[in-house]
Structure 1
Amino acid sequence: MHPNSECEIPEHAESNEYQDESQFFSQIFTKMLGGNNTIPCDYNTTTESNIKLFEKLNPKTHFDAIYKTFDKCSKEGDLYSIQYGIELNFQNCRDINGRCIIHQAAYQNNLSLVKDLIKCGVDINSRTHNNNTPLIYACITGSKSVVNYLVSLDKIDINAQNGDGNTALHYACMYNMLDIVNTLLQTKRTDVIIRNKEGQYAYELTSNDYILKAICTIAYIFHE
């Protein structure tokens, strides 16, 4: 997907209209993003080359290359190019498992990229085809730093259920991730009595006695 004519960078611009390249690109991206509530970004030395990388990619066939390009931009602090990739809708391209870029970043514990995508307006509760969220993927792989960051955000849906009815807590319990279970419980927003489609509570999936006791205690306190 390419930007429409209203969003394309003009081939010719009067140099005296802008103080420098940074101001020029700032105005271009403000127009491209339509005033979305994202953070201001500075054009840096890698922006031009990164934009060219995005322009060569096909969202239907180049998921790995697109992810690597977003990751490269994040490591270089190039939010301009991340926003450009988002304008091309590359953040919504999917791998064979239905994961978008933010899901893959959460899955790989890529905190920097998760943060930058969210700063640039990507939905923190974005769903895969099976309704998995970035938080669910972070819990599946034990991505502690990503979990800690995501649950700190007001708009996070901690209790989101996927196609199997599992929540982030179900997976944290399933894989006996005590630290992540504690993080989820400490938010005081995690519902411990949600059942999945098999009728199972999260605590029924763990073999860790500490997790079992912690969840059962909370269930007793708040739901009796």
Structure 2
Amino acid sequence: MGERPIDSVDENGRTPLSYAASIGYLDGVCCLLDCNAFAFTEYTYNRDRDGFYPIHMASRNGHINVIQEFLRRCPDSRELLNPKGQNILHVAAENGRANAVSYMLKIPELDNLIKERDKDGNTALHLASRYGYPKVVSILTWEKRVCLELVNDKGRTALDVVENYHYDLPSFQQRLTWQALRCATSST
């Protein structure tokens, strides 16, 4: 018996569900999840070669409606971690997806993700700071549940991460990120 299209995997180990999630194709995600219970269970929890689950792909690209659908149909998918030990909030913050971060902060069931650390001890705030996403940093620093003093495995706060850029001249984006953190830390 040949491989069904729903069972196919591309050269990156991505299933149709993972691909639909990555491009924000909500109707496709819903259709694939509706195919049958086995596919729902198998493909929702199937990592690609990079170790990302479909919900991570939606988070990486900021597809809030797809994230909502995964959380509605499979609430425990919020706990899935990629190989770096990152949850969906980490992934959204690391990729500068401000709308997705803002959405996740409004979901009470995702509260535990806020202070969760990846394998390097980084929170979502550390990652947004490291990659220079001032809008995400601002959203996170205005959130009362985010602790600005948490340190990663290198003993650095998010502000320390920004101040430790290894560039002669920081970019405008990096300077805005630094400014957002400086304002937040001076008001605490």
Cα deviation for residue 170 of structure 1 reads 0.2
Determine if the alignment matches structure 1 residue 154 to structure 2 residue 108: yes
Q: 1:73 to 1:165 in 2, by over 3 A?
A: closer
Alignment match of 1:98 (pick from 51, 54, 75): 51
Q: Is 1:210–2:179 an aligned residue pair?
A: yes
Please tell me the root mean square deviation across aligned C-alpha atoms, in Å.
2.8
TM-score by length of 1: 0.64
Q: For the structure 1 residues 158 and 80, does the alpha-carbon distance in structure 2 shift closer, same or farther, using more than 3 Å as the test?
A: same
> 2:69 pairs with 116, 126, 132, which one?
116
Cα deviation, residue 181, structure 1: 1.3
1:138 aligns with 2:92: yes
C-alpha contact 1:82 1:117 (8 A) present in aligned 2: no
1:65 to 16, 29, 37: 16
Partners of 1:73 and 1:202 lie apart in 2 by 30
Distance 2:161 2:42 in 1: 37
Taking the aligned partners of 1:145 and 1:151, their CA distance within structure 2 comes to 10
Change (3 A) 1:75 1:212: closer
3-state DSSP of counterpart to 1:164: coil
SS of the residue aligned with 2:79?
Answer: coil
Flag structure 2 segments of 5+ consecutive residues without an equivalent: 163-173
Unaligned segments of structure 1, at least 5 residues: 1-51
Q: What amino acid maps onto 2:16 in structure 1?
A: A
Tell me: higher relative CO, structure 1 or 2? Use CA pairs within 8 A at least 6 residues apart. 2
Question: Take 1:159 and 1:63, find their aligned partners in 2: how far apart are those partners?
Answer: 29
Q: 2:109 is paired with a residue of what secondary structure?
A: coil
Distance, in Å, in 2 between the alignment partners of 1:58 and 1:78 is: 15
Change in CA separation of 1:205 and 1:165 when aligned onto 2, cut-off 3 Å: same
- Give the Cα–Cα distance (whole angstroms) in 2 for the partners of residues 126 and 82 of structure 1: 17
Match of 1:201 in 2: 157
* Residue type of the alignment partner of 1:201: T
The letter of the residue matching 1:203 is L
CA contact (8 A) 1:178 1:211 kept: yes
TM-score (norm 2): 0.75
Change (3 A) 1:73 1:181: closer
1:199 deviates by: 0.8
* Partners of 2:28 and 2:42 in 1: CA distance: 20
Tell me by how many angstroms 1:203 deviates. 0.8
Secondary structure of 1:155's aligned partner:
helix
Are residues 65 and 141 of structure 1, via their aligned partners in 2, closer, same or farther at CA, if it must alter by over 3 Å?
same
State how many pairs are aligned.
167
Deviation at 1:113, TM superposition (A): 1.4
2:119 paired residue number: 163
Conserved? CA contact 1:105–1:113, under 8 Å: yes
Larger gyration radius, structure 1 or structure 2: 1
